[in-house]
Amino acid sequence: MDEVESPEAYSKRERCEARIKRIFKRLISSSQQLSEYEMSRGYEALSYLFDHYLFKRYGIFNYPRVDFEHDIHTQRPFSLQALTRFNDLLKTGHKSDRAMLLLLFGEFLEVRGEHLLRRGASPILLLEEPENNLHPVNLAITWRFFSLLPMQKLVSTNSSQLLSFFPLSRIQRLVRHADLTKSYSLNAEHFSGNDLRRIAFHVRMNRPHSLFARSWLLVEGETETWLLTELARYCGYHFVVEGVQIIEFAQCGLDPLIKLAQDLHIEWHVLTDGDAAGQKYATRVEDMLLGKDFLANRLSILPALDIEHLFFENGFADIYLEAANYTEKDLARFAVSKIIDKAVHKYSKPGLGLAIASAVEERGADSIPPLLKRLFARLVGLARTQSG
């Protein structure tokens, strides 16, 4: 049975709501500031209504804290800690924050009309792209305010910064298909605690924009990230426009990233070196294929020890010889690996990658190894399957 309110409580609720409505109308219709007394009376009304609708129902429960370190538990919509912070906001918060609360609650009362809420009702706050027209700093401030509101929140966003404020377990990724839009989310049962800690740091915190990508290219190191983006552009593919994101998996680990892509329905492809470590990665990719996956859509193996050897053996030996202060005559005296190692020691792998990109720009896209050109076409094709 619903709880029956006493006439005294009912009338006080009515008085508080009427007071907030009056203040709300004055705030939006007049350029004059309200007096401190009027505002304080509004804060008192807010505090009472907050207590009336929410605290009596949710304040008695002591829900477990969210495990933010591993990002694995679903956060409860109400917690004793959140309620305390909100009460602090009502009593001692900044004037602008409390005025925003009055505007928010006043707008709610206007929309609600004469329909009363039951005591302990669970409000749902719907926010559509709250990042619009906000500087990143102001977006962080605005979300801090909304995060204090003790209510359920449903947010749609195109902001990677705003996305980074949410645990991965709370994110729903929308994918548009030809005739419908589907929602996908992380399944915590697919991950160990260590896996979740890694992807929370490497994806949600450091690369939140990758969650908006349509396709991931998972590579071993930084060189591939620098080089492949430029080479794809010379082939007529703009990864940013196509929704392709290159991610280095060495620190995060390959398995967590593949499982995350599968859960969120992000297309993915792995590029590995041809050495022993690359062969192990390739075996792992085969083991993680889903029922309808084709290996060719998920894996490319370089026909060389690494990407430096690939370019050395495909017409770019002069770049490495010059970087190592060698000439073609030295090829008979030194192994290819020694020449590459000396060039890398002098210029670093990313530096040599940029030198290769500059050389390709001069020589044309035909100088790019065929395997890489096929890789770019496949990545863009995978990404376009999610364009709706």
At residue 33, the pLDDT reads: 73
Which of the four pLDDT bands, split at 50, 70 and 90, describes residue 124?
confident
CA distances from 171 to 48, 71, 142, 166 (A): 33, 11, 19, 7
Ranges of each domain in the chain: 7-170, 184-388
Instruction: Tell me the pLDDT tens digit for each residue of 339-350.
Output: 999 999 999 888
Q: Write the DSSP symbol of residue 75.
A: P
Q: Which residue has the higher pLDDT, 94 or 12?
A: 12
**Residue with more model confidence, 44 or 257:** 257
Burial class from Cβ neighbours inside 10 Å (0-12, 13-18, 19+) for residue 68 reads exposed
**Which position has the higher pLDDT, 83 or 127?**
127
Mean pLDDT of the chain: 84
Distance of CA 30 to the CA centre of its chain: 40
In this structure, the chain runs to a length of: 388
pLDDT top residue among 4 and 291: 291
